[in-house]
Amino acid sequence: MANAFIDRTTVHAWSEDMSDNSDNHQSALTRLLKDQRRLTRFVEENAASMHPATSGIASYMIGVVTRMFDLAGGKLKAATWEQVRAAEAKVIAAVPELLPVDDDFADRARAVSWRAQPHILDEALMALFATHPDDLAEQEKDEENEEAADKDELFKIYLLMWVATEVLDGNWRPFKDFSGEAEYAYHHIAPKKRGDTEAAEA
């Protein structure tokens, strides 16, 4: 049985802190990825079909997801290959109802009712696909550049994060006093403006 959901506000706060204060989380990320070697090897397996830069982003994002379960407290067991393969098959079976990767893709992804920890995956969708309105014009220029992020590559990262979330939630036992959400409702959070993000990282 899936766990109750970590709420969206908490997930977003952790995501922002990992972005703004990465040094404070680096040792934990290294430890967690070492503990979840099968998940990291799963990412490595899929790297062959990804751009080199994309595979690096995917590895980091899997670390971020794992860190969120760690921050939530409780016990997180190491994944087995059986769990990874089962989650992979489940996610792959859902792909036809998600495609194409267009402007409505995120809505279709959020409509999948059985996602484990949907607020973590909503944070992933925002990080990968959402754009601040003030950045749209600049994004259109970037899309003309060969180095612009390919949406299909971002889709691959999302699928890897989804598989990881399914596996990790199945291996996570929260504290008894954990008061998560029993039902999912989309909670919109506006993406940061690009300049604000870059200033925070400086």
Question: Per residue in 42-53, pLDDT tens?
Answer: 999 998 888 888
Does 175 fall in a domain?
Answer: yes
First to last CA, the chain: 42
Quote the domain boundaries for residue 36: 8-201
- Least Cα distance to 68 among 109, 113, 127, 108 occurs for 127
Residue 134 pairs in a beta bridge with none
H or E stretch at 55: helix 52-72
What pLDDT does residue 128 have?
A: 93
- Least Cα distance to 101 among 109, 111, 113, 92 occurs for 109
**Residue 189 contacts residue 132 (beta carbons within 8 Å):** no
* Count of domains forming the chain: 1
Phi and psi torsions of 76, nearest 5° = -120, 110
Report residue 193's pLDDT band, with 50, 70 and 90 as the boundaries. low
Residue of higher predicted confidence among 76 and 190: 76
Question: Per residue in 81-130, pLDDT tens?
Answer: 999 999 999 999 999 999 999 999 999 999 999 999 999 999 999 999 98
Does 1 fall in a domain?
Answer: no
Verdict on whether the full-model pTM lies above 0.85: yes
The encoded tokens of residue 176 equal 């008894």
What pLDDT does residue 27 have?
A: 95
